[in-house]
Amino acid sequence: MRCLAALLALLLPAAVAAEPCPPAPVTGVSLPITRAAMQQREPLTIVAFGSSSTEGAGASGPDRAYPAQLEARLRAALPGLPVEVLNRGIGGQEVQEMLARLEADVLAARPDLVVWQAGANAVLRGMPAEEFRAALAGGIARLQAAGIDVLLMDSQRAPRILDAPGFERFDATIRDLAAESHAPLFSRAALMQAWAAAGTPQGEMLSPDGLHHNDRGYACVAEALARTILGATAPAQIARR
């Protein structure tokens, strides 16, 4: 446990640390492909796949989007292990549009792990939940068949999401698919609820558009996500230290 704590303490490198993140629980997940790659000391490749929340809308620059900040945190926590986080987010896309570029943007990179952020555009555009479910399930199956870990990411708790009719159905769909497909869920909804419970107002983590994260929000998403990934893989690293 002391070794794990030491690894986690490295998650806030000075280059990305602006303001401390509010406390939040670590999500316990299983990432066997990622863990095996780290055990073998192979370069770790992660694809951040999704729409504008992945691309970094609302951030002051690409280096402040969550994928870049995740890469910085993992590299700090895993010295000597090459880590690359590829940002494959395109703003405004729904799941079907993501599926159309799955081969070129994701599978071609041969990643160990895909963090797939989805749901917000489906909510905002009134996409049928059943159509969303079928598309996402098909994509998960293709990734898993290629020997890739999948970590799903749900929508942020933002006014424009919460004001959209039926947003709860999409959250439930992602939760159900995570359980059924053994593709664990990194829940931004739960994370932001934890921030609020710790006394951090929603607005401090969102950009003025009322939808996307700001720099601090992306930094804290990246910190929580790095903790989640390390929590699933750190025992393999500790055994080799």
Q: For residue range 102-145, list pLDDT tens digits in order.
A: 999 999 999 999 999 998 888 888 889 899 999 999 999 999 99
Does residue 107 form part of some domain? Answer: yes
Q: Can you give the pLDDT at residue 109?
A: 98
Q: Name which of 181, 184, 155, 153 is nearest 168 in CA terms.
A: 155
- H helix or E strand, kind and range, residue 218: helix 215-238
Does residue 19 form part of some domain? Answer: no
Helices (H), ranges, 46-113: 52-55, 66-77, 95-100, 102-105
Q: Name which of 69, 44, 73, 43 is nearest 56 in CA terms.
A: 69
Q: Can you give the pLDDT at residue 161?
A: 78
Does residue 219 form part of some domain? Answer: yes
pTM of the model: 0.88
Domain containing residue 160: CATH number = 3.40.50.1110
Q: Can you give the pLDDT at residue 67?
A: 98
Q: Do the beta carbons of residue 181 and residue 10 sit within 8 Å?
A: no
Q: Can you give the pLDDT at residue 86?
A: 99
Min mean pLDDT across 39-43, 113-117, 235-239 is at 235-239
Q: Can you give the pLDDT at residue 1?
A: 43
Does residue 22 form part of some domain? Answer: no
Q: The domain containing residue 126 runs over which residues?
A: 2-11+27-238
Does residue 17 form part of some domain? Answer: no
Q: What percent of the chain has pLDDT over 90?
A: 62
Residue 235's pLDDT band (boundaries 50, 70, 90)?
Answer: low
Average pLDDT in the chain:
87
Q: Can you give the pLDDT at residue 122?
A: 81
Does residue 85 form part of some domain? Answer: yes
What is the rounded distance in angstroms from the CA atom of residue 37 to the CA atom of residue 20? 31
Q: For residue range 149-206, list pLDDT tens digits in order.
A: 999 999 888 877 777 777 888 888 999 999 999 999 999 999 988 998 989 988 899 9
Q: Can you give the pLDDT at residue 2?
A: 42
User: Helices H, strands E: what count in the chain?
Assistant: 12, 5
Q: Can you give the pLDDT at residue 25?
A: 77
Query: Which residue's entry shows tokens 């081969």?
Result: 103
State the total domains in the chain.
1
Question: Which has the higher per-residue pLDDT, 121 or 216?
Answer: 216
